């Protein structure tokens, strides 16, 4: 059997596959690489600011820490589901979405997630450029006065800093995911050095005693609501990677490596980082009489140019790490999935970077409507996507998926002209209440707003289960998958026309010729 023909005899469709979308062949992302990836994601300006920002709910340090700890344990279990699916199938997120949404319909969840990621990619790049400006100001005092005339809402210095960070991230694309892996191995641990030093400095300034009971104010809906909101928001903070963690887990050699990396990278590492973030934030209140939520600002207040430079430089590297993990890899794959024959991972990343530049992200960030309403509404639909994909793969299909069928225009996952309308209907049914809760101006919506991800995911999980459990397309696909060696089927997938596929075809032809010759010799005898 040739490698681009499934057990059912249908050939792989070239327009649905390329080398980056095909199941991962090399599995170089070991325990440490995935662990370092989580360090890069968590040890960042965004991670610190999120943890510190929970004080604004009216919670004291102990309650903030407890909320973060419980939330990350929930994330750990949910992330394992996505990671195990990616490791088993070797698939990136947009191809994994084909299982539930169809070969063409997968572009709906993929491009939705991709657009959110591109917007935040641009915003995070711009925020990182602020640290570059701080760094430049410490090295060359007075540089802030240079080029104050604005173009498209940003100064010349701001443009130069942004373009520097923008170009720096593009360098990570040189060799695709392998370059990103090597960068994460370095960037992940880097922030720990600065954060430990910052913690010691804060403790010293506080007389080695930080109050853990002082709250920033009264909780609007009561302490119980604020505490539950802290847990829910912790899960929501990871909502993007709860969809596309498979982009990284697909390169892991074993399920155990994924589990161990998630254990040490999420609960253990995140809780340790939370301790540091909570101590530093609570200590900043004792030192300055106000909570300093931005670590770059706090480092800038240290009366030491050297410390300020090292801090700004480290947080710049850290922001590169989280931006690549959470907002760069995903749209690169998502765009490749939209046009596999023309767009690969590198081209998808370049297109994402150009779009992030053209939207002038500082204007997005400074527009309350876009940040608080538009992007919040887009983020609210990530919960329904998670609910659909998880219930479809683990409950309805019981992990019985024939990977080769995901790359065929007339395969078992083509549904109705490439679209599974049941999944699409579920997505819209669950997204409407999730969006209303996330951005609605009504008191009840504001009360439920922190829980919008759970509401969307829960509704999608239940609705998709009940409307799809008797789906003839799904039942037929599962029945066929149960009769196939799924690992062998996955490993047999090759890109038509590739060197590997050609070599496999030649080997097959040679094997058939040898068998025919042997048969002829037997007949003569």
pLDDT digits (tens, 9 = 90+) for 294-309: 777 777 777 777 777 7
**70 to 221, 235, 324: CA distances (angstroms):** 20, 9, 26
Q: pLDDT for 135-189, tens place per residue?
A: 787 778 777 776 677 888 898 889 999 999 999 888 877 667 777 787 777 776 7
What letter would DSSP give residue 481? H
Contact status, residue 229 vs residue 53, Cβ threshold 8 Å: no
Query: What sign results for the dihedral spanned by CA atoms 205, 276, 230, 365?
Result: positive
Cα angle value 314/275/227 (rounded, 5°): 120
- 3-class secondary structure per residue, 412-431: CCCCECCECHHHHHHHHHHH
Taking the C-alpha atoms of residue 295 and residue 76, their distance in angstroms, rounded to an integer, is 26
Continuous segment of H or E residues that includes residue 151: strand 150-151
Q: Is the alpha carbon torsion for 504, 508, 514, 517 positive or negative?
A: negative
Secondary structure (DSSP) of 504-515: HHHHHHHHHHHH
How far is residue 236's CA from residue 242's CA, in Å, rounded to a whole number? 9
* Strand-pair partners of 151: 154
CB-CB neighbours of 25 under 10 Å: 12
Q: What is the pLDDT along the chain (525 residues), one digit of tens a residue?
A: 333 434 444 789 999 999 999 999 989 899 999 998 898 888 777 777 777 778 777 787 788 889 999 999 999 999 999 999 999 999 999 999 999 999 999 999 999 999 989 998 998 899 888 878 877 877 787 777 766 778 888 988 899 999 999 998 888 776 677 777 877 777 767 777 777 888 888 888 888 887 766 555 566 677 899 899 999 999 998 999 999 999 999 999 999 999 999 999 999 999 998 888 888 888 888 888 887 777 777 777 777 777 777 777 777 777 777 788 778 899 999 999 999 999 999 899 999 999 999 999 999 888 767 766 666 777 789 999 999 999 999 999 999 999 999 999 999 999 999 999 999 999 999 999 999 999 888 999 989 999 999 999 999 999 999 999 999 999 999 999 999 999 999 999 999 876 655 455 454 444 445 544 554 555 555
What is the H or E stretch that residue 433 is in?
Answer: helix 421-439
Per-residue b or e along 6-23, where b marks 16 or more CB atoms closer than 10 Å to that residue's CB: bbeebbbbeebbbebbbb
Nearest to 478 by CA among 392, 389, 384, 387: 392
d(CA 138, CA 29): 38
Token output for 152? 């498209």
How far is Cα 248 from Cα 47, in angstroms, rounded to an integer? Answer: 20
Domains of the chain by start residue, with CATH? 29-366 (1.10.4160.10), 367-505 (no CATH)
d(C-alpha 477, C-alpha 10), whole Å: 14
């Amino acid at each position: 059997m040739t490698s681009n023909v499934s057990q059912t005899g249908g050939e792989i469709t070239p327009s649905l596959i390329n080398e980056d979308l095909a199941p991962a062949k090399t599995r170089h992302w070991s325990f440490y690489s995935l662990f370092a990836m989580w360090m890069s994601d968590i040890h960042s300006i965004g991670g610190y600011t999120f943890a510190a920002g929970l004080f604004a709910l009216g919670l004291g340090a102990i309650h903030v820490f407890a909320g973060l700890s419980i939330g990350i344990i929930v994330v750990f279990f949910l992330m394992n589901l996505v990671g195990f699916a990616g490791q088993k199938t070797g698939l990136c997120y947009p191809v994994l979405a084909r299982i539930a949404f169809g070969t063409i319909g997968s572009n709906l969840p993929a491009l939705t997630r991709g657009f959110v990621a591109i917007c935040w990619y641009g915003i995070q790049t711009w925020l990182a450029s602020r640290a570059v400006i701080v760094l430049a100001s410490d090295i060359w005092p007075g540089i802030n006065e240079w080029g104050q005339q604005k173009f498209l809402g940003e100064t010349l210095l701001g443009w130069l800093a942004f373009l520097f960070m923008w170009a720096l991230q593009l360098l990570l694309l040189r060799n695709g995911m392998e370059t990103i892996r090597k960068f994460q191995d370095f960037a992940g641990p880097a922030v720990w050095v600065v954060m430990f030093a910052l913690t010691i400095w804060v403790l010293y300034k506080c007389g080695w005693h930080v109050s853990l009971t002082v709250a920033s104010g009264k909780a609007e809906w009561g302490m119980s609501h604020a505490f539950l909101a802290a847990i829910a928001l912790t899960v929501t903070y990871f909502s993007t990677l709860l969809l596309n963690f498979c982009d990284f887990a697909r390169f892991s050699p074993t399920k155990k490596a994924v589990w161990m990396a998630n254990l040490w990278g999420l609960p253990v590492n995140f809780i340790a980082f939370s301790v540091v973030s909570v101590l530093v934030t609570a200590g900043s209140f004792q030192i300055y009489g106000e909570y300093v939520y931005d670590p770059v600002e706090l480092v800038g207040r240290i009366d030491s140019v050297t410390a300020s430079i090292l801090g700004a430089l480290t947080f710049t590297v850290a922001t590169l790490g989280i931006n690549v993990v959470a907002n760069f890899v995903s749209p690169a794959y998502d765009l490749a999935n939209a046009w596999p024959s023309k767009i690969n991972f590198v081209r998808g990343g370049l297109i994402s970077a150009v779009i992030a530049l053209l939207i002038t992200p500082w204007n997005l960030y400074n527009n309350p409507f876009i940040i608080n309403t538009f992007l919040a509404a887009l983020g609210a639909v990530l919960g329904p996507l998670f609910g659909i994909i998880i219930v479809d793969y683990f409950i309805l299909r019981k992990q019985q998926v024939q990977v080769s069928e995901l790359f065929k225009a007339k395969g078992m996952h083509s549904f109705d002209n490439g679209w599974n309308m049941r999944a699409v209907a579920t997505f819209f049914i669950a997204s409407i209440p999730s969006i209303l809760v996330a951005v609605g101006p009504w008191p009840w919506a504001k009360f439920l707003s922190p829980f919008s991800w759970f509401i969307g995911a829960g509704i999608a999980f239940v609705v998709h289960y009940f409307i799809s459990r008797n789906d003839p397309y799904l039942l037929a696909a599962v029945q066929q998958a149960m009769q196939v060696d799924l690992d062998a089927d996955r490993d047999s997938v090759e890109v038509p026309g590739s060197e590997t596929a050609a070599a496999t075809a030649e080997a097959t032809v040679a094997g058939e010729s040898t068998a025919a010759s042997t048969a002829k010799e037997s007949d003569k005898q």
